[in-house]
Amino acid sequence: MNRTFIDHTVRQCRNLDGLWDFVTDPEDMGLTQEWQKQFPANHGQMYVPACWNNELGLYDYRGAAWYRTRINVSGEQNLQIIFHAVQGFAQVYWDGEQVAGHFGGFTPFSFVVSHAVPGVHELVIRTDNRLGEDTIPYHAVDWFHYGGIIRPVEVQVLPDIFIEGLKMEYSQGSDGQLETSCRVTLRSLGEAASVPVALTLDGVTIGEQTVGVPANGTVHAAFSHTLPNPRLWDVGRPELYMVRAATPEDDLADRIGFRFIRAAEGKIYLNGKEIRFQGVNRHEEHPEWGFAFPPKLMTKEIALLKELGCNSVRGSHYPQSPYWIDLLDENGLLYWSEIPIWGAHLPVEATGNPVLEERARTMIGEMIRRDFHHPCILFWSVHNEIDTRSQEALHLSQSLSGLVRELDQSRLVAYATMHPLTDIVMGCFDVIGINYYHGWYNGKVEQFADMLAGFHKHAASLGCADKPVLMTEFGGAGIYGDTGWEPRLFSEDYQAEILAKALRIFRGDPKLSGTFIWQFADIRGDLRSERGFFRDRARSFNNKGLLNEYRKPKLAYRVVRDIYRADRYPLTE
């Protein structure tokens, strides 16, 4: 399942889940030997979607790997093949010819085969999950960098005139109604033609027009509609609508929620009501599935978040599954979405690399295009812990925040800094996130009060006192099961103590709009650092989860639950 709802009822779609032919290419011979034309006979098999690292013998394989499957086309057909996410740099071949390429691991890409002839066709993909100086993320990153086709590959049969896209925007009318405008993009794979297009909202027709589509071209059709008495989406009140475009031969549906976000005077308002965030950071990772995270476990995680008393989640640090974000929409939980510029070990000169900037701009475009209609997403965040004291970071922040504002004026532009007292980029953003680990990496947890006082002073000196600020990361490690009578480093007791003391300070600061604890669950990771204060990744995991990697609660989960559920922030229920 790619979504929690059906996005096509007319168009034929199916996922190519299952065993594909598979072979690693550690010597990088496949391109010169043209494996796309002559797949190695000694290949094995790999499940799609999956991470190859979860298979025997491939745990820490980083490099190129090749996949092959076959698609039987019965009659002449137009096909669209969608890769919902492939880790790394991917090159795609159809019957031996390259038809697509994509960089990055968490956003979809696709290609169309126009008028495929009947018979068996070969789909081959080469992907390389190595990270380097100008990859996103940079090669030093604090999670286990899996490889593979981590989300479904989908085949769709298209008519000659098909619906390529749907984008609905909306604004508040003078007396509570909504003014909606929807752009439907149609594309022709053959002759020019005129097609009738109907647009519905929850099954009610809100627009009909006949649209002329040029031969082998695309056209945008605009629909506007006033929606009286809209049911606004809100925390704990997941009011959702299905918007659907249809022609006699095709259809495309997406789900939308209507709500209004505003940042002003240091606060964040949702539908005019101040929101204070009670959140956690969530990696979409599990030791047995890697990044190929099973939908069943996502539903359990929603339950664990609501049990914890959360009203929000930060998707650290990359675009997460559409299915997951659908669940957040359906449960009235707020969401912070970001691209994976993980900057704690990113050198300043790499921050200024134009290749990195261009790749980041592409990823931002793909993230926003894919997730534009999700009401739960309030923030688009463009980088995490780059050196925001540098001119390079300022240039990158201006470029990326500017792009987000071009693409989407309905959400807040954010970032997370680990230099709150010396940051020079905060003026580019609507919301400031602070990642700081007093009580773990440095100092005592009580020092958070001074850090915040210093930050507010620094923000005011930059003319940014009116920008809302969130603690987007803080915490410490607790090894699951390590409990005792004294709060030792790495004990569950000490982890719980840090969080209880930090939350008391943060929730007492009226200038803070909320907290995202680092982190929801333990994740694999073996980032090393020579810096004395850096706590190593015991057992090759990042152990700062409130839950262990199998989603079993530590003492910290119970302590945070008592705090998050005690106050009457707008909770989900």
For the bound state, the minimum distance from the C-beta of residue 440 to ligand ADA, rounded and expressed in Å, comes to 8
For the bound state, the minimum distance from the C-beta of residue 458 to ligand ADA, rounded and expressed in Å, comes to 19
For the bound state, the minimum distance from the C-beta of residue 86 to ligand ADA, rounded and expressed in Å, comes to 22
3-class state of residue 226 by DSSP: strand
Structure tokens at 307: 């049990």
Nearer of residues 351 and 384 to ligand ADA, judged by Cβ: 384
Nearer of residues 245 and 280 to ligand ADA, judged by Cβ: 280
Phi/psi-derived region of residue 104, left when phi > 0, alpha when psi is between -120 and 50, beta in every other case? left
Nearer of residues 245 and 313 to ligand ADA, judged by Cβ: 313
User: Concatenated DSSP letters for 10-56?
Assistant: SSEEEE--EEEEEEEETT--TTTTTTTTS--TT-EEEEES--GGGST
52/62 Cα distance (integer angstroms):
10
- Collect contacts of 194-199 with beta carbons under 8 A, ≥24 apart: 195/161, 195/247, 195/248, 195/249, 196/247, 196/248, 197/163, 197/221, 197/245, 197/246, 197/247, 198/245, 198/246, 198/247, 199/223, 199/225, 199/243, 199/244, 199/245, 199/246
For the bound state, the minimum distance from the C-beta of residue 69 to ligand ADA, rounded and expressed in Å, comes to 34
**Distance of CA 519 to CAs 51, 295, 331, 472, 544, Å?**
22, 20, 20, 10, 6
For the bound state, the minimum distance from the C-beta of residue 451 to ligand ADA, rounded and expressed in Å, comes to 14
Q: Site mask, ligand ADA, residues 141-180, x = CB under 6 A? A: -x--------------------------------------
Of the candidates 64, 68, 53, the residue with the CA atom closest to the CA atom of residue 128: 64
307/333 Cα distance (integer angstroms):
13
Nearer of residues 353 and 384 to ligand ADA, judged by Cβ: 384
Query: In the window 420-459, what residues touch ligand ADA (CB under 6 A)?
Result: 435
Q: Does 2 bind ligand ADA (CB under 6 A)?
A: no
Structure tokens at 526: 């073996």
Nearer of residues 87 and 316 to ligand ADA, judged by Cβ: 316
CB atoms near residue 491 (< 10 Å): 22
For the bound state, the minimum distance from the C-beta of residue 436 to ligand ADA, rounded and expressed in Å, comes to 8
Contact (CB, 8 A) for 537 and 527: yes
For the bound state, the minimum distance from the C-beta of residue 52 to ligand ADA, rounded and expressed in Å, comes to 23
Q: Is 283 exposed, middle or buried (0-12, 13-18, 19+ CB in 10 A)?
A: buried
Nearer of residues 69 and 495 to ligand ADA, judged by Cβ: 495
Nearer of residues 68 and 286 to ligand ADA, judged by Cβ: 286
For the bound state, the minimum distance from the C-beta of residue 265 to ligand ADA, rounded and expressed in Å, comes to 28
User: Which residue number has the CB closest to ligand ADA?
Assistant: 142
For the bound state, the minimum distance from the C-beta of residue 159 to ligand ADA, rounded and expressed in Å, comes to 45
For the bound state, the minimum distance from the C-beta of residue 268 to ligand ADA, rounded and expressed in Å, comes to 21
Nearer of residues 52 and 429 to ligand ADA, judged by Cβ: 429
Distance between alpha carbon 474 and the CA centroid of its chain, in Å? Answer: 21
Q: Site mask, ligand ADA, residues 303-322, x = CB under 6 A? A: -------------xx-----
Query: In the window 116-145, what residues touch ligand ADA (CB under 6 A)?
Result: 142
User: Concatenated DSSP letters for 447-499?
Assistant: GHHHHHHHHHHHHHHTT-TTS-EEEEE----B-TT---SS--TBSHHHHHHHH
Nearer of residues 75 and 532 to ligand ADA, judged by Cβ: 532
Contact (CB, 8 A) for 212 and 194: yes
Structure tokens at 273: 């009501």
3-class state of residue 231 by DSSP: coil
Q: Does 542 bind ligand ADA (CB under 6 A)?
A: yes
For the bound state, the minimum distance from the C-beta of residue 384 to ligand ADA, rounded and expressed in Å, comes to 5
Strands 334-338 and 523-524: unpaired
Nearer of residues 142 and 371 to ligand ADA, judged by Cβ: 142
Among 286, 544, 551, 554, binds ligand ADA (CB under 6 A): 544
Among 223, 291, 415, 518, binds ligand ADA (CB under 6 A): 518
Q: Which residues contact 489 (CB under 8 A, 6 or more apart)?
A: 476, 477, 535
Strands 119-128 and 109-116: unpaired
Nearer of residues 8 and 345 to ligand ADA, judged by Cβ: 345
For the bound state, the minimum distance from the C-beta of residue 99 to ligand ADA, rounded and expressed in Å, comes to 35
Nearer of residues 36 and 316 to ligand ADA, judged by Cβ: 316
Q: Site mask, ligand ADA, residues 366-405, x = CB under 6 A? A: ------------------xx--------------------
**# of chain residues touching ligand ADA (CB under 6 A):** 11
Of the candidates 421, 518, 416, the residue with the CA atom closest to the CA atom of residue 469: 416
Nearer of residues 20 and 335 to ligand ADA, judged by Cβ: 335
Q: Does 285 bind ligand ADA (CB under 6 A)?
A: no
For the bound state, the minimum distance from the C-beta of residue 347 to ligand ADA, rounded and expressed in Å, comes to 16
Contact (CB, 8 A) for 313 and 341: no
Q: Site mask, ligand ADA, residues 241-270, x = CB under 6 A? A: ------------------------------
Among 254, 473, 482, 493, binds ligand ADA (CB under 6 A): 473
Scored b (16 or more CB within 10 A) or e, 415-445 reads bbbbbbeebbbbbbbbbbbbbbbbbbeeeeb
Nearer of residues 316 and 320 to ligand ADA, judged by Cβ: 316
Distance between alpha carbon 235 and the CA centroid of its chain, in Å? Answer: 20
Of the candidates 278, 261, 279, the residue with the CA atom closest to the CA atom of residue 270: 261
Contact (CB, 8 A) for 269 and 235: no
Among 344, 348, 449, 451, binds ligand ADA (CB under 6 A): 344
Residues near ligand ADA (CB under 6 A): 142, 316-317, 344, 384-385, 435, 473, 518, 542, 544
